[in-house]
């Protein structure tokens, strides 16, 4: 078991540096005024590596939630009138504040969520990067000008702030996904209410402390808001709340369906980032050295708990054996253990429920013809939430392979020709991220064409994970169709308005209509 007095002291020092107490209020309106909700229940955060209690968070009741939303609505009335480049300066300062806590916040992510420290620090860097992106975006919220068919008329479009938005994040990226939404939304003129995962409330509280200092510097109150609460008191109320025009949700397909239908009932908008069942096609023309490294990182990184984790490999029959041999050898050398140690490449799953889901999936896939080549075991010698990364050889794409299991299971299948590979690749309900390894130009272009990958992200000669903030992130089919982060994803956080100005003394109608 991994638990030492030295680590306990280290964890305490990090929590102290990030202003995490033994018991924390879970509601803040963005000006540093934390609300201690007397009626709220405690939520306990655990270290999945050791099972030890990290701290408790007092959750919000419905009454406190309503007060927070009202404050956000009020703040929006003034925040939306601040010139966008001025709003960008606030986001710039948030990026600066995050730079100051990059290492301890990255380590807290590793402690509370279980991903290795290098990935935790990388996630904080992703927050900083999206803040930099949003600063530039604050001067580029462009609208188009169109030529009117009517003489002496000018027609154009512009974009206005949308309103208070809710950001509901998952445990696996407890920091970056908030920033993808918050930095862009703030630049666009929206206020926001963040509901973090129950598994990672301390990361959210640490970030809110950093944002509060920036809010105070800019005399802001109610722009950046945090609410930790359960599904009934906060979650469903947020989905049904007509004061919130946009809900950005990251999580499972099952919960995503509920989010989509509930928000749609009131004609609200959603950004949905749901399941991924991401595949890598490995051609006979592939550079296997590149392929093995990318597959290993994509499948084992974050213990297979990314929405972009590599879950399937579709290998050409001529190179399948060599690829499998290399992957098995690499898997057997993966150091598993405490994610805060530099030598560790894979930490624990987020909780024991995730371990049970993995073991159940393996039992099912074996019944469907799968053969475990390496791994497939729990690791009680390390702790209750540890497992071995697993490779399963499949003859066909069985029903279990078409489901997403949030764990380090990699299914490997073979193909004869590219048509077959693409059919296997696209033959799952999810459509987030995809990759192909080939040095053959025509194969690469085919994979990226209309007749190729049906995913929102498609790569050649790099893996399924590691998306950069400059591109729009999201997927199709059961992944939800949402887009966050770069490109023109900002448009989801604003409302479009078409404007026409008549600067003549006549009143011509469109389509040449004569009236009166």
Tokens of 158: 């512009």
* Three-state secondary structure of 134-183: HHHHCCCCCCCEEECCCCCEEEEEEEEECCCEEEECCCCCCCHHHHHHHH
Reading across the β-sheet that carries 153-161, which strands appear in turn?
A: 145-147, 153-161, 494-502
Phi, psi of 196 (to 5 degrees): -85, 170
Q: Evaluate whether 422 touches 453 at the Cβ level (below 8 Å).
A: yes
Interatomic CA distance for residues 272 and 479, integer angstroms: 7
- Angle between helices 102-113 and 5-17 in degrees, nearest 10: 130
Q: What stretches of 338-449 adopt beta strand conformation (E)? A: 371-374, 390-393, 409-415, 430-431, 433-437
DSSP 301: G
Tell me which of 273, 414, 478, 484 is the catalytic residue. 273
> Which distant-in-sequence residues (6+ apart) come within 8 Å of 198 by Cβ?
43, 171, 230
Joined tokens for residue 231: 């599904």
Q: Which of 28, 307, 385, 455 is catalytic?
A: 307
CA geometry: angle 47, 48, 52, nearest 5 deg: 40
Catalytic-residue membership of 233: no
Q: Quote the CA–CA distance of 259 and 235 in Å, as a whole number.
A: 9
In three-state secondary structure terms, 263 is helix
Closest by CA to 305, choosing from 207, 201, 398, 170, is 170
Who's near 424: CB < 8 A, 6+ residues apart? 279, 314, 397, 413, 415
* Catalytic annotation present for 273: yes
Residues marked active site are found at 273, 307
């Amino acid at each position: 078991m991994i638990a030492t007095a030295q680590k306990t002291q280290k964890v305490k020092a990090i929590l102290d540096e990030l202003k995490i107490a033994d018991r924390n209020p879970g509601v803040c309106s963005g000006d540093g005024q934390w609300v201690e909700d007397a009626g709220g229940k405690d939520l306990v955060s655990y270290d999945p590596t050791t099972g030890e209690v990290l701290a408790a968070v007092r959750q919000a009741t419905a009454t406190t939630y309503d007060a927070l939303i009202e404050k956000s609505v009020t703040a929006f009335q003034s925040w939306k009138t601040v010139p966008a480049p001025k709003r960008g300066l606030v986001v710039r300062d948030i990026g600066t504040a995050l730079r100051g806590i990059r290492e301890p916040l990255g380590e807290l992510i590793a402690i509370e969520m279980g991903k290795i420290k290098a990935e935790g620090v990388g996630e904080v860097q992703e927050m900083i990067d999206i803040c930099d992106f949003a600063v530039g975006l604050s001067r580029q919220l462009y609208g188009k000008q169109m030529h009117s068919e009517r003489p002496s008329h000018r027609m154009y479009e512009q974009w206005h702030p949308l309103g208070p938005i809710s950001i509901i994040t998952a445990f696996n990226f407890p920091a970056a996904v908030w920033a993808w939404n918050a930095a862009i939304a703030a630049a666009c003129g929206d206020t926001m209410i963040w509901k973090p995962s129950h598994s990672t409330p301390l990361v959210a509280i640490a970030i809110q402390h950093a944002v509060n200092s920036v809010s105070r510097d800019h005399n802001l109150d109610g722009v950046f808001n945090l609410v930790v609460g359960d599904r009934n008191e906060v979650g469903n109320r947020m989905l049904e709340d007509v004061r919130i025009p946009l809900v950005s949700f990251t999580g499972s397909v099952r919960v995503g369906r509920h989010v989509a239908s509930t928000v749609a009932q009131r004609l609200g908008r959603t950004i949905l980032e749901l399941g991924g069942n991401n595949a890598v096609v490995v051609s006979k023309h592939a550079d296997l050295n590149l392929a093995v490294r990318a597959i290993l990182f994509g499948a084992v990184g974050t213990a297979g708990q990314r929405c972009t984790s590599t879950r399937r490999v579709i290998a050409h029959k001529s190179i399948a054996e060599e690829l499998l041999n290399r992957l098995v050898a690499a898997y057997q050398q993966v150091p598993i253990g405490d994610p805060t140690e530099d030598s560790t490449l894979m930490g624990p799953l987020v909780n024991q429920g995730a371990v049970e889901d993995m073991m159940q999936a393996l039992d099912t896939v074996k019944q469907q013809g799968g053969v475990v080549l390496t791994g497939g075991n729990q690791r009680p010698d390390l702790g209750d939430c540890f497992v071995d990364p697993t490779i399963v050889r499949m003859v066909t794409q069985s029903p279990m392979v078409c489901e997403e299991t949030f764990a380090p299971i990699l299914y490997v299948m073979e193909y004869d020709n590219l048509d077959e590979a693409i059919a296997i690749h696209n033959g799952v309900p999810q459509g987030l991220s995809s990759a192909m390894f080939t040095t053959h130009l025509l194969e690469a272009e085919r994979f990226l064409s209309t007749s190729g990958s049906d995913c929102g992200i498609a790569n050649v000669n790099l893996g399924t994970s590691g998306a950069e903030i400059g591109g729009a992130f999201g997927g199709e089919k059961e992944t939800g169709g949402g887009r966050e982060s770069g490109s023109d994803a900002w448009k989801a956080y604003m409302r479009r308005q078409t404007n026409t100005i008549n600067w003549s003394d006549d009143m011509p109608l469109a389509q040449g209509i004569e009236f009166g």
